[in-house]
Structure 1
Amino acid sequence: MIVTVTPNPALDLTWRVERLTVGATHRADAGAARAGGKGLNVARVAHAQGAATLALTTAGGRSGIAFSAELAASGVPHRVVPVTAPTRQSIAIDDEQLGDTTIINERGVNPADTEWAALFGEVVDALPGARVLVVSGSLPPGAPASFIPLLIGTARDAGIPTIVDTSGPALLLAADAGASVLKPNAAELAEATGISDPVDGARSLVARGVELVLLSLGAEGMLAVTASAVLHARLDAPLAGNPTGAGDAGVAACAVLYADGVRDPESVLRRATAWSAAAVLMPLAGDISDEWRALEDRLVVVPRTSTDREDSP
C-alpha cells in the first residue's frame, strides 16, 4: 500500500477562460472544485492506476467541508484529521488561447500542535500496511520543522522507503533525515541548495544520503540523479496543456514502482516522465491520460553531466 501525507491540503478551484488579460473582467462557465494538495494528487493518480493507496490529510472550516465532501466522492481511500483553521484554496485559471495556466496558492494556516500530533498518529497507524510513504507538498507558515524528518525517521525504523516532494529548508531537512527519494523542480532545488546547476544541486542532495533525486525540468523533461549516474528523459516533442499536477503524477509513478520493489533509476525515470507528461494532457491535477504508454515509448533517455546545456539532446 502507498500511504500519502498532505500536510497543507487545498481546495483546488479551476476555471477556463478564452484569454486571460491582466486587469480585465472575465466570464467563465462554472469551474471545477477538487480536494487537492500534492499528496492527494499523488494518491488520486496511484489509485486510478490500480495501486492500493491511503491518503492522509487535514480539513477545516467551510472550505474544508467542500474539500472533505469532494474527497469522499472521489473514491480514494483516505483519513481526514479535523482542524480548526480553514483549508486553504488554490485557484487555477486556464488560458485556452495560450494553452497555459495561472495559479494562485493560498499559503495555508498552521494547525495546532494537537492537530499535528493527530495527523502523525494516523501515519503511525497506517505504516504497518505500507510499502512506501509519500510526503508531498508545502508546509503552512509556522509549521514545525521537525514534522517531515519525524515522518521519515518513523518510516525508516519500520523499513519503509519515503518519497518526499517539498521545498525550501524542508527539502534539506528531508535529505538529512534519510528520505529515499526527493522530487524537487529546478527552481526549488536552486533555492534550497544555493546551487544554480541542477545536476550539481541534485548531487548535493545525494551526498546527504538520498538514494534518488528526480528533478523536474518542465518542458525539458526530468533528471534522475544517483550516486553513480545522471540520466535525462524527455519527450521527442513538447506537449501543450495544463502542467498543474504533472510533478505529482511523476511522484505517483515512482511510488507505484517502489511499492512493487522496482528501484532501477532508469525504469523509475521513464515511468515518472511519462506519467508527468500524461498529466499535462488532462484538465485537472490528479489525473493522467490513458496515452501514457505511448508517451513512454516516445521518451529519449540519455546520460547528462553538469556541463550539458538543458536543451542538448
Structure 2
Amino acid sequence: MASSFEQIRERTVIVTLTPNPALDLSHQVDALVPGTTHRVRTVHERAGGKGLNVSRVLHQLGCATLALAPVGGLVGEAFRAELAGSGVPHGLLPVRGGTRRTVAVVPADGAEPTLLNEPGVPLSDGEWAALLALLEVTLRQARVLVCSGSPAGPAERMADVVRSARAAKVPVIVDTTGEALLAAARAGADLLKPNAAELREATGIAEPVAAAGKLIAAGAGAVVVSRGPEGLLAVLPDRVVAVAPPRRVAGNPTGAGDAVVAALARGLAEEQGWEAMLQTAARWSAAAVAAPVAGELDLSVLEPRPSRS
C-alpha cells in the first residue's frame, strides 16, 4: 500500500472507492447456446468492480487516480497480484471475507453478453470503519471522489461515504442502485449516475426527468442518466442537457457506464461545462463498448473519423 501512496503524494487525484470489488473474468465464445458445451476462444482476468474500472480508464488516459477497495481470500490474492501488475495506483484493505468473481460470456457473433455476478461478502462494521478511515486519509489529495457499486452492507453506508467527502470538501460522484442510490441522494451527493432502469427502480417513476428530479429534491446536486443507444441525459436543478452517442459501436457494453463516470470525474476535476463533459462521456462510453474488457477504452474510437471528399 505504501508504494501506491508514494505515487500520488503531493498530487491532486481522482480517488475511486469500490466497496464490493470483483475479479472479473471475460470468456469469449463463438455463440452462446444455453444447455450446450462451449469452447472458450479467449479468457481475460483482471481486478475489477465499477470503481476499479473507472480508475483503469483514467489511468489509461494519463489522469492521476487512486483506487481503493477491500480484498480477501484466495480470489483476493489473485486480485491483488493482477492490480499490482496493471500499474494503477491503489490502496487495498485486507478483510476476512473472500473477494467475489464476475463472469462475462461474450459471444463473437455480436449477441449481448451474459453476465454472472457473485454477491460478495458484506464487510463487518469494523472493516467498514477501517475502509472509511483509509478513504479519509486519501481525500487529503483528492480532487474528486467516485464511489461505485454496492455498499458491501447496509444501504446507509453509501451515505457514510458521501458525508466523508463533504467533510473533506471534495465533490463526490456515486454510481449505485436501489436504496443505496436514495441514501446517497439524501446525504447530498454532488452527482448520481444511474442508468435508466436503475433510476426507475429506485424512484418508482418511469419518466427519467421526473425520476431524476425526485433525487435532486432529496438532496442530490445533479443526476446523469445512461440511456444506452439514446445517449446521456443530465438533469440539473435549473435545466436538462441531452447528448446523443457519437456513433453506434458493436462490442461489450459492460464497462460503458464506468467510462461515463470516468469522464464525468475528469470533467468535475477540471471544472468543465456540462455540455463538454457529456460529449466526452458519450465518446468514452462508445470507446469502452469497442474494447474487449471493462475498464479499458479502444482509443481508435476516440480518433476523429476521416472526412469524405
Query: Are 1:218 and 2:228 matched, yes or no?
Result: yes
Aligned 8 A contact 2:247 2:286 in 1? no
Residue 70 of structure 1 is matched in structure 2 by 82
Matched, 1:239 2:252: no
Q: Distance in 1 between matches of 2:178 and 2:306?
A: 34
Cα distance in structure 2, aligned partners of 1:134 and 1:297: 35
1:40 corresponds to which letter in structure 2?
L
Structure 2 match to 1:107: 119
Relative to its length, the structure with more helix (as a share) is 2
Q: Secondary structure at the match of 1:109?
A: coil
CA pair 295-279 structure 1, distance change in 2 beyond 3 A? farther
Write the letter of the residue equivalent to 1:286: G
Amino acid at match of 2:90: H
Q: CA offset at residue 3 of structure 1? A: 0.6
1:281 equivalent to 2:268? Answer no
Aligned amino acid, residue 147 of structure 2: V
Q: Does 1:79 align with 2:95?
A: no
Retained in 2: the 8 A contact 1:12–1:36? Answer: yes
Query: Normalization by structure 1: what TM-score?
Result: 0.90
Q: Are 2:30 and 2:41, in contact at CA under 8 Å, matched by a contact in 1? A: no
Q: Choose from 248, 256, 276 the match for 1:267.
A: 276
Return the TM-score normalized by structure 2.
0.91
Partners of 1:292 and 1:237 lie apart in 2 by 9
Superposition pairs of residues 22-61 of structure 1, within 5 angstroms: 22-61=34-73
Question: What is the DSSP-based 3-state SS (H/G/I as helix, E as strand, rest coil) of the residue aligned with 1:202?
Answer: helix
Contact 1:274 1:296 survives alignment (8 Å)? no
> Structure 1 295/281 Cα, relative in aligned 2: closer, same or farther at 3 Å?
farther
Residue in structure 1 matching 2:151, options 113, 120, 139 = 139
For residues 102 and 144 of structure 2, the distance between their equivalents in structure 1, rounded to whole angstroms, comes to 27
Bigger mean CA deviation after superposition, 128-137 or 94-103: 94-103
Corresponding pairs, count: 295
CA distance in 2, matches of 1:68, 1:219: 35
Q: 1:137 Cα deviation (Å)? A: 0.8
Amino-acid identity (%) = 50
Range with greater deviation from structure 2 (104-113 or 202-211):
202-211
Runs of 4 or more, structure 1, over 4 Å off, are 294-298
User: Which residue among 136, 140, 163 is the counterpart of 1:124?
Assistant: 136
Give the superposition deviation at 1:83.
Answer: 0.9
Match of 1:199 in 2: 209
